[in-house]
Amino acid sequence: MATIAETPTPPAPKRRRSRRETRNDGGSAVSTYGLLAPMLIVLGILFLAPLYYIFLFSVGLKRFSPTDALASLNGELNAFSTELWTKLISVDVTVLIPGLNFDVPVLVVGIVFVVLLITAVTAGRIPEYGSWIVGVAFVLLLAPFLTFPAGNNLLRLVEFSSEGQYMRLFFKSVSMAMTSSVVAVLIAIPVAYFLAFCVGKSKYTWLLIVIAPFLTSYLLRVFAWKVILGDQGLINSGLTTIGLIDEPLTFLIYSQFTVIIVLTYAWVPFICLPIFLSFETIDRRLLEAAMDLGATRMQAFRKISLPIIAPGIVAAFLFVFIPSIGEYITPTLVGGTQGTMYGQSLANQFVGGAFNWQFGSVMSLFLLGIVLLLTFTTSRFLRAGGGGL
């Protein structure tokens, strides 16, 4: 019996949008931009206007002195020049490795670290070995700037120094900021894990208790540590009383060690929050399934939890590192001469004894460029899902 072929049903014609619908969509977009435009303009002015004047000072197009004669007397530039930039970055960097010392141009060091940053962001897309490449890139970025306290000295696996005073101070500040950031993250991870998985319904109450120090003045907390770590402070007095030491430990106050301790304490409560929120996004059923399949707690953490919270860890690290690298208050109060940082030297160019606004602007733009590079790299890393860790 012959069958009649079924003819396909023609698609329904698309309904034309009415003028009112089109006008409403356009109007909502216009109203959104209209609401955002004033705020964006204000933010742009507040950010770009100071940056514009700093740029003018940094290239000699603007000076602090009112006349050319006074500018020449004060050593200020009267016309466009890159002399100050050359003074800051045209120096060799000394790489100190146990048993090996060598000098390389600062530009080469910058290129190497940019390549490592790009690798850490993009290598996660490589199949099979991508996560390992990302891990190696992070280790190479962190290792040269990590310090380990050893009495009055701070030991480093690899140390960067320079004949230039300001570049040497910059590398020193990066080391102190990097160490405090890593230590703060290592402390915050178990605290956030405990709050997310171990305390049940009261976790938000405990989280509020953890971040409670931010309700007090930062200056008061720094002064409290100054009292605790002082020669007659709580630690030295206690050790002397029980007979462990005869004289106060000098490295506890006015040293790089002191600055690292105070910066770590100051930022741990703050970065517990993003890491805690990262733990909150983990589906508990994934961990239960891993445990049912024979995985240990450490294996479940490494295979499931760590890749999920990796963006939160990187963001938390950046929250500590960016403000710490230009820190001024903490090293001023508890750092002494040994704990001097780049931010103090920068501030001295504007309000201290140097009073050199042009060179201070160069130092400011240099630090701003480093911060913007790290911010851009981190945003790309987070958009890539944590680099595929």
Residue 13 lies inside a defined structural domain of this protein: no
The CA distance from 180 to 321, in Å, is 8
From 51, 81, 111, the end of a domain falls on 81
Residue 389 lies inside a defined structural domain of this protein: no
Per-residue pLDDT tens digits for 67-106: 888 888 888 888 899 999 998 988 889 888 887 888 998 8
CATH of the domain at 156: 1.10.3720.10
Structure confidence at residue 188 (pLDDT)? 93
Structure confidence at residue 184 (pLDDT)? 94
Same domain, 68 and 105: no
Same domain, 200 and 323: yes
Contact of 60 with 84, CB cutoff 8 Å? yes
Same domain, 52 and 150: no
Per-residue pLDDT tens digits for 236-263: 988 888 988 888 888 888 989 999 999 9
- pLDDT-above-70 percentage for the chain: 89
pLDDT at 25 over 60: no
Same domain, 108 and 77: no
From 81, 101, 134, the end of a domain falls on 81
- Mean of pLDDT over the chain: 84
Structure confidence at residue 139 (pLDDT)? 87
Residue 331 lies inside a defined structural domain of this protein: yes
Same domain, 76 and 100: no
Residue 193 lies inside a defined structural domain of this protein: yes
* 26 against 116, higher pLDDT: 116
Structure confidence at residue 130 (pLDDT)? 78
Same domain, 70 and 141: no
Same domain, 96 and 77: no
Please compute the mean of the pLDDT values over residues 331-344 and round it to a whole number: 90
pLDDT at 387 over 50: no
Same domain, 67 and 174: no
Same domain, 99 and 75: no
Residue 9 lies inside a defined structural domain of this protein: no
From 27, 54, 81, the end of a domain falls on 81
Structure confidence at residue 207 (pLDDT)? 87
Residue 28 lies inside a defined structural domain of this protein: no
Into how many domains does the chain fold?
Answer: 2
* 284 against 192, higher pLDDT: 192
Band (369; pLDDT cuts 50, 70, 90): very high
Domain hosting residue 61, numbered range: 40-81
Structure confidence at residue 30 (pLDDT)? 60
Per-residue pLDDT tens digits for 120-169: 888 877 777 777 888 888 888 888 888 887 766 778 888 888 888 899 99
pTM above 0.75, yes or no: yes
Same domain, 183 and 308: yes
Residue 156 lies inside a defined structural domain of this protein: yes
Residue 31 lies inside a defined structural domain of this protein: no
Same domain, 262 and 315: yes
Band (1; pLDDT cuts 50, 70, 90): very low
Same domain, 76 and 122: no
Structure confidence at residue 23 (pLDDT)? 52
